[in-house]
A = this chain, B = another copy of it.
Amino acid sequence: MNTAVEINASLGAGADSPTHAVVHAAVVGATGYAGCELLTILARHPAASVTCLMSSGRAGKKAFAIEDSHPKLRGHFSVLCEPLDVDRLINSGSNVVFLATPHETSHQIVPQLLENGLRVVDLSGAFRLKDSAAYTQWYGFDHTAAEALAEAVYGIPEFDAPAIAKARLVSNPGCYPTSVLLALAPLLKAGWVDVAAGIIADSKSGATGAGRKPSDKLHFPEVNENLRAYGIFHHRHLPEMLQELEVSRKDFIFTPHLLPITRGILTTIYARLSPQHGIGDVEALFKEFYAGAPMVRIYPAGTMPEILGVANTQFADIGFALDESTGRLILVSTIDNLGKGAAGQAVQNMNVMYGFPQQTGLL
């Protein structure tokens, strides 16, 4: 029993309007990896109830038990998983819909969900970029849901919880951007980094980050005992990082690599610190920035987090080292790509949207 349990207990104890104490959640994209993690978290969440499971890739199929897709979930849910049907979703009695769907699907159905009074946490990239023209360039489709895009809130609770609390549509960040933004934002917002000297984010991700659809590149023997860089200079998560960091493409390089592991991202970030700041300043800045943030853990100066520390958790861990003679700063940022990089962050957003402590159900 720890803090989370006490929170959970207080949630139940203090609720004088029990019908509102429980959020009814729908998960669309339940058969994917982020869907499985959402369900794993929600099964333990003291204030959420899963009322609807849908799968966007099974049009015309019959409803099925979710354990047929995720054996791990056997015995947890009695509600069946249905093919995506927007009308049924709207009428499912859900308060909030988690979309762990392809971005095309999210782009298509979000407006209708919002119109019908559902709140949405979208885990796809469909509403992350404020500039709709960027979708044509980076995602290859023309964005037509202008109103929804305009109101979408980019959902990192550590950055802007008040906006998330009010949002109807939260756009859940990409896994790579989450690992990069959490580490860089405090320093950039403080103006402590010499941006023009260039920032490099060298990321390494486990294979679930690429989804559950089989392909040549994700075939077991092609990933195992291998490491591969990809999307050099043009990965789809790049514009999202530039937008949130407010830096230009010439000053920021992002290189993702595919690790032979199931879960986890480690990003190694290289930047030049403005000369007047020492390692103690950096530590103090991080501690202050994340003082009220239960899901971010700052490591002592010089001690670096590793993937094992966050895999199968919902935390982000951040470490840093500084070569004081040259101002060279190295940050190491780790998350579980399915946790804080996807489902954990989505539920954290839901917690903020419904006024629960951020860590509810996540410890």
Which of A104-112, A119-127, A149-157, A317-325 makes up part of the contact surface? A317-325
Q: Residue among A46, A207, A255, A308 with the most chain B CB within 10 A?
A: A308
Residue interface bits A272-306, CB-to-B below 8 A is 1, else 0:
10000000000000000000001001000010111
Given contacts A44-B5, A220-B223, contact A330 B270 (CB under 8 A): no
Q: Are A330 and B233 within 8 A (Cβ)?
A: yes
A221 contacts the other chain (CB 8 A): yes
Chain B residues with CB under 8 A of A263: 225
B323 and A233: CB pair below 8 A?
A: yes
Inter-subunit contact A257/B261 (CB<8 Å): no
Name 9 interchain pairs, CB-CB below 8 A, sorted by A. A1-B49, A2-B44, A2-B76, A74-B297, A198-B198, A220-B222, A221-B262, A225-B263, A227-B264
* Residues of the B chain whose Cβ atoms lie less than 8 Å from the Cβ of A310: 72
Please judge, given known A-B contacts A46-B8, A263-B225, A266-B257, whether A309 and B71 are in contact too, CB under 8 Å.
yes
A27-74 at interface with B (beta carbon < 8 Å): 33, 42-50, 71-72, 74
Q: Which residue of B lies closest to A328 (CB)?
A: B253
Residue ID in chain B nearest A313 by CB atoms: B72
Q: Which of B44, B233, B332 contacts A321 (CB 8 A)?
A: B233
User: Within the oligomer, what is the number of copies of this chain?
Assistant: 4
**Nearest CB of B to A274, in Å:** 16
- Does A232 interact with chain B (Cβ within 8 Å)? yes
Query: Do residues A5 and B46 form an inter-chain contact, with CB atoms below 8 A?
Result: yes
CA distance A219 to B216 in the complex (A): 9
Given contacts A1-B45, A2-B44, A223-B224, 7 further A-B contacts (CB under 8 A): A74-B317, A220-B220, A221-B262, A228-B308, A233-B328, A257-B266, A257-B268
Tell me which residues across on chain B come within 8 A of A224, comparing CB atoms: 207, 220, 223-224, 260-262
Closest to A325 in B: B250
For residue A135, CB closer than 8 A to chain B, the reply is: no
State the CA gap A46–B255 with chains docked (Å): 43
The yes or no answer to A215 lying at the interface (CB within 8 A) is yes
- Choose among B212, B220, B253, B272 the residue that contacts A218 (Cβ–Cβ < 8 A): B220
A49 contact set on B, CB distance < 8 A = 1
Residues from chain B with Cβ under 8 Å of A255 in the complex: 268, 330
Given A229-B268, A266-B257, A74 contacting B309 (CB threshold 8 A): yes
CA distance in complex: A208, B223 (Å): 12
Q: How far is the CA of A262 from the CA of B261 in the complex (A)?
A: 11
Q: What's the least CB distance linking A201 to chain B, in Å?
A: 10
Asked if residues A304 and B226 are in contact (CB atoms below 8 Å), the reply is no
Whether, in the assembled complex, A363 has its beta carbon less than 8 Å from a beta carbon of chain B, the answer is: yes
Minimum C-beta distance from A126 to chain B (A): 24
Whether A176 is near chain B, meaning CB under 8 Å from some CB there, is no
A268 and B202 in contact, given A71-B306, A227-B306, A307-B226 (Cβ under 8 angstroms): yes
